[in-house]
C-alpha cells in the first residue's frame, strides 16, 4: 500500500491551507497513494499557540471538517489532517487529528493527549487535553493505522498502546518546534518507536520556520524509507503488512514483554 506525507507551511489563512491540502491530495492520488497524512495544525497554524486558536475552532462536522471530507472524496484518497476542534471549554480548543476515508466518511478523530508545555511554550493554556487516553486507530485497505500528535512521540507507552491495539503503521502528525538537538531527536524518536513496536512510523511535519520539516517514513527495523528536507513538498512510499508480520515474527517483543508500565503514584522508598 502506498501512502503519502504532505509537508506544509500552514499559516493563519485557513482557505490557503485548505487549498494546499487539496493540491497535495490530488498529487498523492495521481501517484497511486491510498492515504495522505498532513501535519498537526494543518488547517490553522502560528509560531505559538495563542488565544486565536479557540476562536477558529469548529466541530468535526463544521465547515472546515466538511471541506476536508470533500477533498478526500474528490480525490478518492484517505486523508489525515491536523484540525482545531471546538471543545466544551470556550477558552480552549482540542488539538485534533481527523481521518476521512476515500468516500469522505469520518474514520477517526484523535485529540492530543500530551500537550506541549515545554521549551517556553504553554499549549495547555489555549488547548484542552484529550478527555481519554484510549488508543485511536482506523483501517484503510486492510492496514490499521494509529494516531499520535507531535509531543506524544516522546511517550513510548502511548505508541505501545497503539501497537497493542493492532496498529501496523503509526501516523505522527507534528509541528516539531526547532531548537538544540531537536532535528536529531525527531529522527531518532520516529525510528525508536518503529523498532520498539515492529511497525512503520510515518512522521508528517510542518516546514520551517515554525517547525523542522523532514517528514519521513521509518520501517519496522528503524530504517528510513523516504524523507523530505526542509521544503514544502510531498513524498510517497510503500508500507507492507507482510514486512510488519515478518519483523514481529523475528522479534516477538509484544508477547515476551513482562512489564506493564504504569504511572508511579508515589516516590520509590
Say which residues have a Cβ less than 8 Å from residue 89's Cβ, sequence separation at least 6: 128
- In the set 45, 85, 123, 150, the catalytic residue is 150
Active site residue 150: yes
Active site residue 112: yes
Beta bridge partners of 235: 5
Compute the distance between CA of residue 97 and CA of residue 111 in angstroms, rounded to an integer: 6
Beta bridge partners of 5: 37, 235
Determine how β-strand 200-205 pairs with β-strand 216-218: antiparallel
Active site residue 40: yes
Compute the distance between CA of residue 5 and CA of residue 28 in angstroms, rounded to an integer: 8
Compute the distance between CA of residue 132 and CA of residue 27 in angstroms, rounded to an integer: 35
- In the set 112, 123, 173, 205, the catalytic residue is 112
Active site residues: 40, 112, 150
Amino acid at each position: 500500500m502506498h501512502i503519502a506525507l504532505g509537508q506544509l507551511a500552514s499559516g493563519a489563512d485557513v482557505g490557503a491551507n485548505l487549498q494546499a491540502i487539496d493540491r497535495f491530495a490530488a498529487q498523492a492520488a495521481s501517484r497511486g497513494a491510498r492515504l495522505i497524512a498532513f501535519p498537526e495544525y494543518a488547517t490553522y497554524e502560528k509560531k505559538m499557540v495563542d488565544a486565536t486558536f479557540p476562536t477558529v475552532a469548529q466541530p468535526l462536522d463544521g465547515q472546515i471538517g466538511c471541506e476536508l471530507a470533500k477533498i478526500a472524496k474528490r480525490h478518492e484518497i484517505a486523508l489525515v489532517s491536523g484540525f482545531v476542534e471546538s471543545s466544551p471549554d470556550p477558552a480552549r480548543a482540542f488539538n485534533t487529528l481527523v481521518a476521512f476515508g476515500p468516500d469522505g466518511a469520518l474514520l477517526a478523530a484523535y485529540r492530543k493527549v500530551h500537550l506541549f508545555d515545554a521549551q517556553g511554550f504553554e499549549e495547555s493554556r489555549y488547548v484542552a487535553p484529550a478527555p481519554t487516553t484510549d488508543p485511536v486507530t482506523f483501517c484503510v485497505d486492510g492496514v490499521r493505522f494509529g494516531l499520535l500528535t507531535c509531543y506524544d512521540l516522546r511517550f513510548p507507552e502511548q505508541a505501545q498502546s497503539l501497537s497493542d491495539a493492532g496498529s501496523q503503521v503509526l501516523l505522527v502528525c507534528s509541528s516539531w518546534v526547532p531548537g538544540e538537538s531537536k532535528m536529531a531527536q525527531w529522527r531518532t524518536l520516529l525510528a525508536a518507536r518503529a523498532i520498539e513496536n515492529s511497525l512503520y512510523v510515518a512522521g508528517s511535519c510542518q516546514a520551517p520556520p515554525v517547525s523542522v520539516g523532514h517528514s519521513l517514513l521509518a520501517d519496522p527495523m528503524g530504517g528510513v524509507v523516504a524523507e523530505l528536507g526542509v521544503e514544502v513538498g510531498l513524498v510517497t512510499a510503500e508500507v507492507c503488512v507482510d514486512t510488519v508480520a515478518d519483523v514481529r515474527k523475528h522479534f516477538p517483543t509484544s508477547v515476551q514483554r513482562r512489564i506493564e508500565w504504569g504511572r508511579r503514584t508515589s516516590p520509590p522508598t
